[in-house]
């Protein structure tokens, strides 16, 4: 935003400010000042106030082996105890913890007491299977109470969970089992989405059959639909048989604050997914703080985050954050457009949801649906229970923000547009609803204690108004600790030598408003695309395309898309002749399906264009900038005189 651009600010209402946990800009500034004067003292105070410790910590931040930072290292705790037992001890045993709604509208409810009993029985069942502290367990399940139970049960016994999103393919499951060295998989026979059943257990079997999964001893299967399910004797066991006869009391495994709570694999700019490793103590602290401060969670709130537990948003704002704060939350199995595009609004109306957290892609698809069919517009539903809205996963465009604010929130609900990543554990830059004047499209100011800034390629801080690289200048408790089994990649990815290993590189470009200092995210700086809020590495998609026997070479770039934010566009050179007409259409479908099988449906390229070769520099580097221009349909402004075959530009334009 330039200095002379007029900016419209949206203020939180006086009533909201009055009741907010962090109330008014002075309160925000006081927290930021406390953090800047005594950084470790600030985080230590918060960790003592908001997390329950078995053994209190005496060390706060250990920087001796930077960038492998440690927080609260000599303290011990258990994440599941913090989410369940301490709430029951505080008298919340009969409070609703989770209300779940299935794809076809069935509703189930569990209290904190009931949830603890379920978690304990499964945890005891896992222990009986020989699963112990430090073992890795892959979870590949439908959205429902059991997915949360599986994650909490792992945390209870100190096993490290790695959840794989139910939309990923057998190959993706295999790769994660293999990299993590998992000893067990917890899965579901099938999941239900949009009125269809999608097999999960068969995908696990297929993944294991691909080889490299020799560490797997046990596969636990929850019966969701009763769909066809082959059980391998000696390895596979039904969930009900695992918990049969188990006590509903399970002593938590008290682990060190730095003990890994989970691994979550994310796409990087190379083909190999990165196992992002999170700690227990620091991660939990940030999950709690952001629930209390960003979402302003109160005891009588009904919170709904629409993410899947397969993504970090579902970890922090379904499995751990709401429960660690003693909140009540909705867990939803289905999709926003089934049975029609009024599903979200109907659920908010029926369940009286007060805090709603979803992705810009979902918002844009629901705007489109309301325009097409006014009957499913949010204004036809009673959404008066809402008091706060949030967005996550990608920047929200101002027009979608305004619709969300007016048509969903009735112009009375603050919107928290949260910027964060799998690697950061929780919100990094976000409005606080009782503090921040909002600007559509801007994630505004850093969360108190987070030292975010914008630098150039040398690591020099830039003036406000100048775009550059988003970095965090100090370690924070919830940050990524390592890439599983790959410390060098961790350092190169997040603490590059260009910045002397001192700054955390987020991988996003950003600019700060010249007057307010508000941050606006301008997009990825590496070869990672953000499609519907899901990060997809271009290399990963290229590798999947090239694994097709007919493909010689492929390059993948992103182009802007009104619905998904970014769309995947692939430029492909086949081993045979360049296909045209019907042959091209057939080949496009074949390649899209192939990528869907290799990675998962979300990675399917929206556009595939064929050329006799790809544009390269003299040194043989693919000219990706040029491909981006072609994907967008822009006039190619750069010098193409070095191209061996200028005719391919026309081919790759898709003409």
Other Cβ atoms within 10 Å of 232 Cβ, number: 10
User: What letter would DSSP give residue 277?
Assistant: E
- Alpha-carbon Rg for the chain, nearest whole angstrom, is 24
List the binding residues for ATP: 393-395, 417-422, 508, 524, 535
Complete DSSP assignment for 472-515: ESS--TTS--EETT-HHHHHHHHS-GGGTT-SEEEEEEEEE-TT
The residues with which 111 forms a beta bridge, in sequence order, are 96
How far does Cα 113 stand from its chain's mean position? 28
Residues annotated as binding site for CoA?
Answer: 193-196, 313, 532
β-sheet bridge partners, residue 197:
192
Q: Which residues are annotated as a binding site?
A: 193-196, 313, 393-395, 417-422, 508, 524, 532, 535, 546, 548, 551
- Give the integer Cα–Cα distance in Å for 644 and 339: 53
- Looking up tokens 């108004």 gives 465
Would you list which residues are annotated within the binding site for Mg(2+)? 546, 548, 551
298-301, long-range: CB within 8 Å, 24+ apart, which pairs?
298/19, 299/326, 300/354, 301/327, 301/328, 301/354, 301/355, 301/387
Token duo for residue 596: 């869907």
Q: Taking a C-beta distance cutoff of 8 angstroms, is the pair 409, 389 a contact?
A: yes
Within a 10 A sphere around the Cβ of 241, how many other Cβ atoms?
Answer: 11
Report how far apart, in Å, the C-alpha atoms of 655 and of each of 37, 580, 588, 633 are: 60, 10, 15, 11
| CA dihedral of 132, 133, 137, 141, whole degrees rounded to 10 | 90
- Helix (H, G, I), strand (E, B), or coil: what is residue 368? helix
Given a contact cutoff of 8 angstroms between Cβ atoms, the answer to whether 259 and 75 are in contact is no
Cα dist from 197 to 179, 202, 352, whole Å: 29, 12, 28
Contact 301, 572 (CB under 8 A): no
Integer Cα distance of 54 and 264 in angstroms: 26
User: H-helix or E-strand containing 415?
Assistant: strand 415-417
Quote the CA–CA distance of 499 and 195 in Å, as a whole number: 50
| Main-chain dihedrals φ then ψ at residue 639, nearest 5 degrees | -70, 120
Element (H, E) at 470: strand 468-472
In the DSSP assignment, the letter for residue 580 is -
Contacts of 257 (CB under 8 A, 6+ apart): 57, 70, 71, 72, 73, 74, 75, 76, 77, 279, 280, 281, 282
* Secondary structure class of 66 (helix, strand, coil): coil
Give the N- to C-terminal CA distance of the chain in Å, as an integer: 36
- How many C-alpha atoms does 600 have within 13 Å on its Cβ side? 23
d(CA 456, CA 42): 29
Report helix, strand and coil shares of the chain as percent, to nearest 5: 35, 25, 45
Contact 509, 525 (CB under 8 A): yes
- Please state, in angstroms and rounded to a whole number, the distance separating the CA atoms of residues 639 and 630: 14
């Amino acid at each position: 935003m330039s200095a002379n651009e007029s900016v419209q600010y949206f203020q939180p209402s006086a009533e909201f400010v009055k009741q907010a946990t962090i109330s008014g800009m002075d309160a925000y500034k006081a927290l930021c000042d406390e953090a800047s004067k005594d950084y470790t003292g600030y985080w230590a105070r918060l960790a003592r106030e908001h997390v329950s410790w078995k053994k209190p910590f005496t060390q706060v931040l250990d920087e001796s082996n930077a960038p492998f930072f440690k927080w609260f290292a000599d303290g011990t705790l258990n994440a599941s105890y913090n989410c369940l037992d301490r709430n029951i001890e505080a008298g919340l045993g009969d409070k609703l913890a989770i209300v779940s709604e299935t794809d076809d509208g069935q509703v189930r409810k569990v209290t904190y007491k009931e949830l603890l009993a379920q978690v304990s029985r499964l945890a005891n069942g896992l222990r009986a299977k020989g699963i112990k502290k430090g073992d890795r367990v892959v979870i590949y399940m439908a959205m429902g109470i059991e997915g949360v139970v599986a994650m909490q049960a792992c945390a209870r016994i100190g096993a490290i969970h790695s959840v794989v999103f139910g939309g990923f393919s057998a190959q993706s499951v295999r790769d994660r089992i293999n990299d993590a060295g998992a000893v067990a998989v917890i899965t579901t026979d099938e999941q239900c989405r949009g009125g269809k059943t999608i097999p999960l257990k068969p995908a696990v079997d297929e993944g294991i059959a691909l080889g490299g999964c020799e560490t797997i001893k046990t596969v636990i299967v929850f019966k969701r639909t009763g769909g066809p399910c082959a059980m391998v004797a000696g390895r596979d066991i039904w969930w009900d048989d695992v918990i049969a006869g188990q006590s509903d009391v399970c002593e938590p495994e008290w682990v060190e604050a730095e003990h890994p709570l989970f691994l979550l694999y994310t796409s990087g700019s190379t083909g190999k997914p990165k196992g992002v490793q999170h700690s227990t103590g620091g991660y939990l602290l940030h999950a709690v703080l952001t629930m209390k401060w960003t979402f302003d969670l109160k005891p009588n709130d009904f919170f709904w985050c629409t993410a899947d537990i397969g993504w970090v948003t579902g970890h922090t704002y379904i499995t751990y954050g709401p429960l660690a704060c003693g909140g009540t939350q909705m867990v939803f199995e289905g999709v926003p457009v089934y049975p029609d595009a009024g599903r979200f609004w109907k659920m908010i109306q029926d369940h009286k949801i007060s805090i709603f957290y979803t992705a810009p892609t979902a918002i844009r698809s629901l705007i489109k649906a309301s325009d097409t069919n006014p009957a499913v517009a949010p204004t036809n539903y009673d959404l008066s229970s809402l008091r706060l809205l949030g967005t996550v996963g990608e920047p929200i465009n101002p027009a979608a923000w305004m619709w969300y604010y007016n048509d969903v929130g009735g112009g009375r609900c603050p919107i928290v547009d949260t910027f964060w990543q799998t690697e950061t554990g929780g919100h990094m830059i976000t409005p606080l609803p009782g503090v921040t004047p909002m600007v559509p499209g801007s994630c505004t100011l850093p969360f108190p204690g987070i030292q975010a800034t914008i630098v150039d390629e040398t690591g020099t801080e830039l003036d406000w108004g100048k775009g550059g690289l988003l970095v965090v200048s100090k370690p924070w408790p919830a940050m990524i600790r390592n890439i599983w089994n790959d410390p060098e990649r961790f350092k190169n990815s997040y603490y590059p030598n260009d910045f002397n290993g001192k700054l955390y590189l987020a991988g996003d470009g950003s600019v700060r408003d010249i007057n307010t200092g508000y941050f606006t995210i301008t997009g990825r700086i590496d070869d990672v695309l953000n499609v519907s809020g899901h990060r997809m590495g271009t290399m990963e998609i290229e590798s999947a395309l090239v694994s097709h026997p007919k493909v010689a070479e492929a390059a993948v770039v992103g182009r802007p898309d009104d619905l998904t934010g970014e769309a995947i566009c692939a430029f492909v050179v086949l081993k045979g002749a360049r296909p045209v007409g019907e042959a091209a259409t057939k080949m496009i479908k074949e390649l899209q399906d192939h990528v869907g099988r290799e990675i998962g449906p979300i990675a399917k390229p929206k556009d595939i264009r064929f050329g006799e070769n790809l544009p390269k520099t003299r040194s043989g580097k693919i000219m990706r900038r040029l491909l981006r221009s072609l994907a967008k349909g822009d006039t190619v402004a750069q010098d193409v005189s070095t191209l061996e075959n200028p005719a391919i530009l026309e081919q790759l334009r898709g003409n």
